[in-house]
Structure 1
Amino acid sequence: MTAALITALALIALVACAAIVIWILREKNPTLLQQQEQSVRTWFDHMIHRH
């Protein structure tokens, strides 16, 4: 139970950090964000199809 809670909190923290980084990148360089989004999508596709 405790381990699951810690894991959930860690995932939430990672997502929050990623969201902040993406927001900062969007403010500074929109084209960079689009490239990053594309690479993240391809990575997700690889992860989903691999399993």
Structure 2
Amino acid sequence: MPQMMPLNWLMLFSFFSGLLILFNVMNYYMIINKNIPISLIKTQKKILTWKW
């Protein structure tokens, strides 16, 4: 479409750039933090014995 005005191309570019930025910001800040109490987290230590 070479007959489009450059202003229209600039508007399209700004529109899609704004959508890209909005999508990235929403994905970054929409993380749901699940607060897990420390008492529920159990660390299990595995003892590795090397048999040479």
TM-score normalised according to structure 1 size = 0.49
TM-score normalised according to structure 2 size = 0.48
Q: Which has the higher helix share?
A: 1
Larger Rg: 2
Q: Which has the higher contact order (CA 8 A, sep 6+)?
A: 1
